[in-house]
Amino acid sequence: MSDDAFRGVFVTGTDTGVGKTVVSAALVAALRGHHRVRYWKPIQTGIEHDNDTETVRVLGACVPADIYDAGVRLLQPVSPHLAARAAGQAIDLDDLVTLASAQPPGEFWVVEGAGGALVPVNGRDLMIDLIARLGVPAVVVARSSLGTINHTLLTLDALRRRSVGIAGVVMVGEPNGDNRESIERYGDVRVIGELPLLRPLTPESLHRATESWTLASLEPGSSSPQPPAPSPEPRPSSLASRDAAVVWHPYTQMLTRPAPLPIVRGEGVYLYTDDGRRLLDGTSSWWVNIHGHSHPVLNAALAEQAARFEHVVFANCTHEPAVALAERLLALAPRGLSRVFYSDNGSTAVEVAMKMALQYWANRGATRRTFITLHHAYHGDTVGAMSASELSLFTRPFAPLLFDVARAHAPYCYRCPVGLTRDRCHVECALAGPSGPAPLRADETLEALLERHAGDTVAVLIEPMLQGAGGMIVWPREYLAHVRALCDRYDTLMIADEVLTGFGRTGRMFACEHAAVSPDILCLSKALTAGYLPLGATLATDAIYEAFLSADRGRTFFHGHSFPANPLACAVALASLDLLRDTAALDRVAGIERQLADGLTPLLSLPTVGDVRVIGGVGIVELVADKETKAAGGYLDDIGPRLSAEFIRRGLLLRPLGNVIYIMPPFVITDDELQWTIAQVRDVVSALTPS
């Protein structure tokens, strides 16, 4: 949940009846001088006997507007799940979180729980689940009497296992220095104050008793506790054991792999495992998630469409979600694109583009056979997409199936293919003829290859501005402009594979916008459905589309799958586009870009860091064994799995590409969450020593 939407502290206890309401009133009163503070008790039980909101209003000297009505009011003074059952009600945490997120920004909330942190709320959730979902730190209220050390330490441990920040502990009862010292030492926490039993209990007596409290860590604007703490040691997972018996995972050496992470739930930027860990999803779940996990708007769009119908053959049927999505995509896409062909993932979106381009020329009576792609390219795992990708360990086992392509230099500025530095570069890697101090094979420049294959080039296929799996290579925009100009000069098609870069990932809606160019064919997937369902889209110009229009049915584009334009996927994609617009997501990506640049650039001073690259919502750190020679182990460098394991231990899910670490979070990550993520990368990389 965004810090701008809901800020404050959650007052919980080691048990029921420990004094949470009086402590909440004290916090409201103490913090009111710094900001507008409001009080909320999401679940109130025993409404005939207790009125905690009225107690807080009186003791905290609040005006009525500062007290927010309880989200759920239940008659019986028992555990929320029992009180709700007796009342025939169901307590839904989604409803309470929605209430919280609807509050205006700029206010600071003191939220009081019901019972202790582990009291059941319904048949599925505990109070600690609500605390975690609200995303605010906890103030733990504990008795100062016998047994408090054990109960307090257990509560702190439970909160930390859910990666809830701890703002501090308040001890209620007769002061006990030994208990306070033990809780601070063994709980690694600050006791921010002690509250004796007050007789009489009035606003004045409460004020006097709390004057010495240390509240700096609670005040609005102060640095809040960083969310995930290091993950606890995982317990044996039955889900992981069952997986090991029956599942074959992608891009995974099954003999030597660690146990897979048993994910049971996702919310916002976090994933939760069945062994109690919370992991910040630093890779957007393989680059697909932009709005966070289990987003209520996307959930609703999926459910609403499923209630209508789930799928229909798309060869001779159509439906509203597919037509509406095509209209929206074309309105957003670079100019000139006018038709949408649906498929079911990124690799097939590229495969469609390559087949479409080849048949475009054939339908016009031209025989063209050569595709020009770039070094370090990765376009997918179907045969055509593999052929267009770099010759690598990914494609080597399938070499007999692949067709030849011509490969041009990529603008990999850190490892410049023509031996230049960026300050002396005029994008010579794209242009014909030798240039620069290092020997240059002219036939590897894009222009030279286009000249050699003039009249035979089907298309130039690129990943604009950011080459992903090939090493997270960020381009100068001038190279992209040259690609378009050269395609025009040599009368060939330009295909932009924006499976990774589309929908804001590089700071623009589409990466082609960085150089204000329009491709002839555009490939989309991944963030298209925000990670919910597989869907691919290949966009083409009128000129390409019209080449397939003929009374001769042999000129039909014969390509299709069982699930193109799946209505469920299209409905979610439409809702995702609404969210991109309504949340000003591109503005948020600009903020992520600034924070990544500020946080990662200082790593360049380390002996193990060769390069730092940032574009939009992606931050990249390339590690080297030798800074002088830029030697590195590449994708199979065993540093990748070791780093991944260390990040997971810290509560962060990253999947380095060998020696290349990258951060690519969902756009909804908060500044604090991103700062914590950057800090983990800094700490881990700083501990590395040159090999």
Length of the chain as a residue count: 691
Residues 9, 136 contacting (CB under 8 angstroms): yes
Residues 504, 583 contacting (CB under 8 angstroms): no
Whether 20 is catalytic: no
Burial bucket for residue 594 (CB in 10 Å: 0-12, 13-18, 19+):
exposed
Other CB atoms within 10 A of residue 532 CB: 24
Strand order in the sheet with 652-653: 263-267, 270-273, 278-281, 652-653
Other CB atoms within 10 A of residue 587 CB: 9
Whether 69 is catalytic: no
How many C-alpha atoms does 533 have within 13 Å on its Cβ side?
Answer: 26
The single residue of 52, 412, 526, 611 carrying the catalytic annotation is 526
Three-class secondary structure of residue 536 per DSSP: strand
Burial bucket for residue 396 (CB in 10 Å: 0-12, 13-18, 19+):
exposed
How far is Cα 110 from Cα 66, in angstroms, rounded to an integer? 10
What's the 3-state SS for 565-606?
A: CCHHHHHHHHHHHHHHHHCCHHHHHHHHHHHHHHHHHHHHHC
The single residue of 270, 342, 360, 378 carrying the catalytic annotation is 378
Three-class secondary structure of residue 85 per DSSP: helix
The single residue of 251, 404, 423, 587 carrying the catalytic annotation is 251
C-alpha to C-alpha distances, 681 to 142, 232, 467, 600, nearest whole angstrom: 36, 19, 22, 8
What is the per-residue burial (b if ≥16 Cβ within 10 Å, else e) of 347-362? bbbbbbbbebbbbbbe
400: Cβ–Cβ under 8 A, 6 or more apart, which residues? none
How far is Cα 647 from Cα 312, in angstroms, rounded to an integer? 43
How far is Cα 280 from Cα 228, in angstroms, rounded to an integer? 8
Write phi, then psi, for 288 (nearest 5 degrees): -100, -25
Residues 541, 341 contacting (CB under 8 angstroms): no
Residues 60, 109 contacting (CB under 8 angstroms): no
500: Cβ–Cβ under 8 A, 6 or more apart, which residues? 287, 346, 463, 466, 468, 526
How far is Cα 101 from Cα 111, in angstroms, rounded to an integer? 13
List the beta bridge partners of residue 493.
459
293: Cβ–Cβ under 8 A, 6 or more apart, which residues? 266, 267, 268, 269, 270, 271, 281, 285, 531, 666
Nearest Cα to Cα of residue 120 among 183, 78, 150, 174:
78
How far is Cα 432 from Cα 601, in angstroms, rounded to an integer? 34
Whether 497 is catalytic: yes
665: Cβ–Cβ under 8 A, 6 or more apart, which residues? 269, 280, 281, 282, 283, 284, 592, 617, 673, 674, 677
How far is Cα 669 from Cα 679, in angstroms, rounded to an integer? 15
**Alpha-helical regions (H) of 135-267:** 148-161, 177-187, 203-209, 238-246
The single residue of 344, 497, 520, 611 carrying the catalytic annotation is 497
Three-class secondary structure of residue 208 per DSSP: helix
Beta strands in 282-366 (DSSP E): 337-343
Three-class secondary structure of residue 442 per DSSP: helix
Whether 526 is catalytic: yes
Which residues participate in catalysis according to the annotation? 251, 378, 497, 526
